[in-house]
Amino acid sequence: MRHLRWIMQLPKPDDYTRAAILVVGFLGTLACASTSPMGLETSNCGHRVDPNIVTLGQNVVLSETGTVQPPQGRPIQEGWTLGRSTESITDHNEREYARIASYMMPIRDAIICDLDKASLTLWQTLTAILRLNNIKTVQALSGTPQDQVYSNDGIYEHLTKDGPDQNAMMKYLEEAELELKCLAFINFDFTNPEGANHCVIHDLAQGSGLLIP
């Protein structure tokens, strides 16, 4: 399976000192499915963001061990979740990273864990942030699987009608998240270890800001 690789851009250690982090479990409407589209057990599947804690400038991205994650090009990892900080987050990229996570984590949960419960209407609601920012709105399935691009509705239709396709699913999720970061982050180097910059390749206006539904 092909994944995007990124160099983590780390700030100074003092930038991530937090008085306390409150982690709240997922209380949303989607229950975890017994099996994922990949046929894997999913009793602990997903990020399970509690929508009641989502507030710009108050959230942080937490690893499975509860470590605050800095803004980075690397995709959100399984086991990570959204937490709430007792201190206001003032750094631009930190705020935007958590905001992007608040949108992408439910999208990941729906497609990885709960596809059998996610209606097209729900899927389109979750992915509104992508359509509004002109991300994954065009489908192009020519070439090799590595070259193929599924649109927001296209990946949903593909997985619900044709069955599991982990490569296409993860490529869609990783690129959608990265393209949100391209628009949101400022003064951030998106060059990967191979020397390619996804934002430049796809002519995305880095740091131009996100349109919010």
Residue 212 counted as domain residue: no
Residue 4 counted as domain residue: no
pLDDT digits (tens, 9 = 90+) for 47-72: 999 999 999 999 999 999 999 999 99
Q: Whole-prediction pTM value? A: 0.82
User: How many domains does the chain contain in total?
Assistant: 1
Residue 209 counted as domain residue: no
147 versus 179: which is more confidently predicted?
179
What pLDDT, on the 0 to 100 scale, is given for residue 75? 97
pLDDT digits (tens, 9 = 90+) for 21-47: 333 333 343 433 333 344 444 457 999
Domain assignment of residue 26, given as a range: 13-201
Residue 129 counted as domain residue: yes
pLDDT tier, 120 (very low <50, low <70, confident <90, very high otherwise): very high
pLDDT digits (tens, 9 = 90+) for 121-178: 999 999 999 999 999 999 999 989 889 999 999 999 999 999 999 999 999 999 999 9
What pLDDT, on the 0 to 100 scale, is given for residue 145? 87
Q: Taking 70 as the threshold, does the pLDDT of residue 203 lie above it?
A: yes
- For 1, half-sphere exposure in the C-beta direction (CA atoms, 13 angstrom radius) is 10
Q: Highest mean pLDDT range out of 14-23, 41-50, 85-94?
A: 85-94
Q: Give the angle subtended at the CA of 173 by the CAs of 6 and 13, to the nearest 5°.
A: 40
Closest CA to 172 of 119, 118, 110: 110
Residue 76 counted as domain residue: yes
